[in-house]
Amino acid sequence: MVSTISRLPVLILLLVSMAAWAQTARQWLPLAKDGIHDPRNPALRLLQEPAAALSRLPADGAGNQVNWVHALERGVINPRTNILPETQVMVIDVDIYLNLRGGTPIVRFPHRAHTMWLDCTNCHQQLFASKAGANKLSMEAMLKGEQCGVCHGAVAFPLTECARCHNTPRNQPLPVGAIRGS
């Protein structure tokens, strides 16, 4: 049996390697090298570099490497929910359970995380009807940038992070009073 003391150097090396990986994972390309912005444009210097803005936010291992929900919940960011000052913002703390008949884990859609950030009109009625069960959701449509794919894969975590949405085991009962979607 290997003693804990003889495993210590391996554990230290593993921890150092993980810390180094975490640091390199949180690197963003400068705007002049991102393939989107024109490096010859003199106005480019007026924009904030992604590393300067994003490195201060809670880390995530996917997408743009920022956990936006944690940033919002911790008050690190305070985004504007709408452009019209008269809009009444409603934070809705209800989960809707979707994909009830599929083979993958059930999708728990957290309205709170979305409505803390977005006004309801961003999604309803254009992308989704405001009635449980009225929407035919499709991964194909999402992957084409429709439905949830309007944001996820663009500004929110990518659709390749399946377990973020398909997050509720089928072998457990849904919470009492759960709203069942499609």
What CATH number is given to the structural domain containing 158?
Answer: 3.90.10.10
Q: Please list the residues that pair with 128 across neighbouring strands.
A: 124
Q: Is residue 7 part of a domain?
A: yes
The residue from 54, 69, 90 where one domain ends is 54
User: Quick one: tokens of 66?
Assistant: 């920022």
HSE-CB at 43 with a 13 A cutoff on CA atoms is: 2
Residue with tokens 């570099």: 49
What is the total count of domains within the chain? 2
Mean pLDDT of successive 10-residue segments in the chain (182 residues)?
51 45 66 92 94 91 88 88 78 89 90 87 89 88 94 87 93 86 76
Q: Is residue 64 part of a domain?
A: no
Exposed, middle or buried, 18 (CB in 10 Å: 0-12/13-18/19+)?
exposed
Q: Is residue 61 part of a domain?
A: no
* Residues 15 and 86 reside in one and the same domain: no
Q: Is residue 131 part of a domain?
A: yes
* Residues 110 and 178 reside in one and the same domain: yes
HSE-CB at 76 with a 13 A cutoff on CA atoms is: 16
pLDDT attached to residue 15: 44
Q: Is the pTM of this model over 0.85?
A: no
Provide the domain limits for residue 11: 1-54
* Residues 111 and 151 reside in one and the same domain: yes
pLDDT attached to residue 19: 42
* Residues 127 and 173 reside in one and the same domain: yes
* Residues 31 and 114 reside in one and the same domain: no
pLDDT attached to residue 25: 53
